[in-house]
Structure 1
Amino acid sequence: MTEVKPLVLDVDGTFLKTDMPLETFWAGLGRDPVATLGALVRNFRRPERLKAELAAIAPLRTDLLPVNPEIADLALRSRMAGREVVFASASDRSLVERLAAEYGLSEEVFASDGEIDLKGPTKAEALVAAFGERGFDYAGDAAVDIPVWERAENALVVGRVPSARALTAQGQNVVELPGGWSPAALIRALRPHHWVKNLLLLLAMIVSLRFDLATLVPILWGIVALSAAASAIYIVNDLLDLEADRLHPTKCRRPFASGEVPIAVGMAAFAVLGLLALGLAAAINWAFFGVVVLYMILSLAYSLKLKRMRWVDVATLSALYTIRVIAGAAAGGVAVSIYALIFLLPVFVTLGCVKRLTELTLTTDDQPLPGRGYGRQDRGDLLNVAGLGTVGALLVFFLFSISEQGRVLYPATWVLWLSMLPMWLWLVRMVMLGWNGKQDYDPIVFAMRDKLGLAILMVTLGLMFQAAGLWGKWFGA
């Protein structure tokens, strides 16, 4: 009877649709950034030691890691046929052993152990020593696996590995299996629908009543730059939130959490977008460059720590919204009244509370939100703070209307007071929609698509323009 040869599976990018060393790096940055960066510096030239230290700093929930369904099905069918299925990975042994146990695969695993980095020729030698030349089939997904495929009975190539075509010319039996990622999934990871939030830069034009191309054009370029910066930070945020997203009912479908896009691709996209954002910002002017740098630093701090701190996260969200308005002023070279900024801040505090209210309303249990400091018991407090933000915004707006600057910009004060009614209605409506869970997870994005809300905002702006005498100036009415 012919002995059945074992099926050996690479883990990262083959059995899993992710990379465990990179998973531990980003999990470590989220849990203990100092220790993680210290391990990286100490072991930059010793990857096997780095992997062991990262695995100790941030133990992964291996049961949550996304699995390649075709390879998982192959492993299951092989086991049912009585064939031994073995993991051979360059990831740390502690993680590989746990993964093998969770999926009922062989207890014998081949992995990096802090002393040996098991990849390429090293992995090939270890497998040949255990199973003999041509004594196993091997599934992998990268050019580094070629030395292993060359010494296996059958080479199972997952995804597109152009350099593996030489194996067929050498007489090796090659089986191609589905794998890889699509550019469309990467674009989705950039969250282009969130770029509409950067239309807040246009508020600088509106509140300063500066409607000319010399102001508009640099602001439009500023929107492009800040959109690139925002997408770069969204990538970092998603990579830091992998475990929390996988525990979330809808965020688990995000490209990095689901494994649709490799972490390494996301890191490269982050670098390109960050450089694009800073380059464009510098080309506009140095004041705008400084605001973009501030935005990126605060956003990174939010992703690393601040979003996990109760109430601090709402304050940071409102600050990030306000910075967009300041960025518009810097790009367009316009002066924004301090009253306008003081008015906008409580508005954005209200919207930050709405964001958390929506998430808590849509959650299915009483457990705290993954990666956040809130539970359903906080809904009442968030509603109260949102109410205070609404009242505060209207009070500041009223004080501005009777100030010297307000009377100069908006001579028809009573019309400006009239605009407070639809303004109040819009804010109250946003709060109640969040309370009832009838928004998506970002109130600014929702507001840009909400037809009734947009109509209310247009009425508000129309009354403000009337108070400023703009309709008569533009149309002679």
Structure 2
Amino acid sequence: MQGTKPLSQSAKPSETSQKPAVLVVDLDGTLLRSDMLYECFWSALGRDGWSTVRAVPKLREGRAALKRALVDISDVDVRTLPYDREVVARIEAWRAGGGKAVLATASDQKLGEKIAAHLGIFDEVHGSDGTRNLKGAEKAAFLEAQYPDGFTYMGDSAADLAVWRSASHAISVGAGRRVVAALDSGETSAEHLTRDAPPRALLRAMRPQQWLKNLLVAVPLIADPGIGPGAILPMIGAFIALSFAASAGYLINDLLDLGDDRSHPRKRDRPFAAGTLSPQFGTLAIPVLLAISALISLLVSPALLGAVALYFVATVAYSVKFKQHTLVDICLLAFLFTLRIIAGGIAIGSILSVWILAFSMFIFYALAAVKRLAELTDTETATRMTSRRGYIAEDRRIVSQMAIASGYLAVLVLALYVDDPLTQEKFGSPWLLWGVCPLLIFWISRMVLKADRGLMHDDPMIFAVTNAASRWVIIFCGLLVLGAVVL
């Protein structure tokens, strides 16, 4: 559960001294640091995509009909939702003082009842019923009729202003400045619970540290140094386009995995899972990121736009379906890494050699296998991961063998590439490239060893740039390649 700051009051003491015995609490954005319409949508999409798509036209019958359809498809675990600790404590104190607590939400009645049953702090539950959307003026009229002696209402958004006007006393929770100003200018006595907006929550959800993987767009330029400095700007464009497309994919992945992340020992701190970033905001941010990515891609070349679009579609397919299929997930991850190199080649107009493509497929298959090996070895996540993705603990042995075999094949392909006459012509001192091979053998072997011992808690690519030994290997490899180019 997430907390709030202490209350500030805008009401006169005489106005707040006698409050009605009924406390009515809104759900989305108030009791819960999330929005259940979007929670249900993403849960339903991850569980049964086609049924979710068929449910969307229900919106023609009204939002209440859509909410009921999504609730019936989704499987939201109400036990792990990001409840606000301070709001829960206030409700408990209200009931301890002899008052009645009521949950009144625009979310579906079925969902409201599940949440109330889990928390055990509400005397009544009222929600949308598939026909009536209990929000705004509709909620205000309902509560007036239900509690003619008055009620205190706790809400968060502009939609609650109509309800606050009908209430005897108002409590806002994390409301924006305009909502607070409108509430204070009314006749209803009001007090305000403020929430800290976590800095850079959206940036965290976009995972800029993962953009390091998109530096792979520079591989075609490194492999063909004769292209010239004119290729740098298109390469940067490809990097930015892939990064924004990747961030959109990460948002989708986190929204689809909300329930699973909340039960994860580390991923539960992600912005959406923790409730520091609203699923609604994330859903709206996705098309914005994709539009920026598409525009930059198109400025470089239409072909790059096609490559970036393929990358995004493959990323979503991985998140929605294929990451739950044994071995297919590893193959698709390897393809996504290779596609970054292909996008870099398209951006600078370079034709990639078979050697480069073969090397990338083998090396990235090895890294994807290392990622799965690390998850299978991690005692905190192994049970959860194996149950979701079809792996079993005994697969560690074969997965480690796949990682080692694929990694060593990548080194063999690199050696053949270095020995190729065309490569000898492209580099001033191609013999320096031979030094990369033993470094890669050491690096791959060490990565597998670390993962098998349960010492790798991050993505292998992130581990590679944060671990001291891996950084030195990368630095030495970079120096050898630089020397092969300029000497």
TM-score normalised by length of structure 1: 0.93
Q: Is the 8 A contact 2:322 2:329 kept in 1?
A: yes
- Matches of 1:178 and 1:376 in 2, distance apart? 46
**CA distance in 2: counterparts of 1:441 and 1:372, whole angstroms:** 18
Q: 1:451 — aligned with what?
A: 468
1:145 to 2:160 alignment:
yes
Q: Name 1:21's counterpart in structure 2.
A: 37
Conservation of the 8 A alpha-carbon contact between 1:368 and 1:374: no
Map 1:51-450; keep pairs closer than 5 Å: 51-132=67-148, 135-161=150-176, 162-179=178-195, 181-210=197-226, 212-364=228-380, 367-369=383-385, 371-409=388-426, 416-450=433-467
- Greater shift, 138-147 or 183-192, is seen at 183-192
With over 3 angstroms needed to count, the CA separation of the structure-2 counterparts of 1:179 and 1:380, relative to structure 1, is same
Residue 379 of structure 1 aligns with an amino acid whose one-letter code is R
> C-alpha root-mean-square deviation of aligned residues, in Å?
2.1
Corresponding residue for 2:12?
A: none
Q: CA deviation at 1:433?
A: 1.9
CA–CA distance in structure 1, aligned partners of residues 290 and 50 of structure 2: 22
Residue 163 (structure 1) shift: 3.2
Instruction: Kindly state the Cα deviation for residue 407 of structure 1 after the two structures are TM-superposed.
Output: 4.3
- Asked if structure 1 preserves the Cα contact closer than 8 Å seen for 2:241 and 2:297, the reply is yes
Q: What displacement does 1:79 show? A: 2.0
- Summarize the Cα distance change of 1:119–1:234 in structure 2 as closer, same or farther, 3 Å threshold: same
Give deviations 1:73-111, integer Å, cap 9, x for gaps: 111111222221110001011110011111113342110
Check the 8 A contact 1:433/1:439 in 2, yes or no.
yes
CA distance in 2, matches of 1:417, 1:368: 42
What is the distance in 2 between the residues matched to 1:364 and 1:182? Answer: 27
The farther-off stretch of 298-307 and 441-450 is: 441-450
Count of aligned pairs between the two proteins: 468
Q: Secondary structure at the match of 2:154?
A: strand
Q: SS state of the match for residue 102, structure 2?
A: strand
Bigger relative contact order, structure 1 or 2, given CA contacts below 8 A and separation 6+? 2
Most deviating of 394-403 and 90-99: 394-403
Shift of 1:398: 3.1
Look up the SS of the partner of 1:138 in the other structure: strand
Once the two structures are overlaid, the 10-residue window that deviates more, 359-368 or 84-93, is: 359-368
| SS of residue in 2 equivalent to 1:109 | strand
How many percent identity over aligned positions?
A: 35
| Equivalent residue number for residue 475 of structure 1 | none
**Please, which runs of 5 or more residues in structure 2 have no aligned partner?**
1-17
Rounded to whole Å, the distance in 1 between the matches of 2:46 and 2:480 is 47
1:167, 1:215 → 2: CA distance?
A: 57
TM-score of the superposed pair, with normalisation by structure 2 = 0.91
Q: Which amino acid aligns with 2:161?
A: I
State the AA in 2 paired with 1:308. Answer: Q
CA contact (8 A) 1:358 1:437 kept: yes
Give 5+ residue unaligned stretches, structure 1: 473-477
Cα offset, 1:421, TM superposition = 1.1
- The Cα shift of 1:3 comes to 9.3
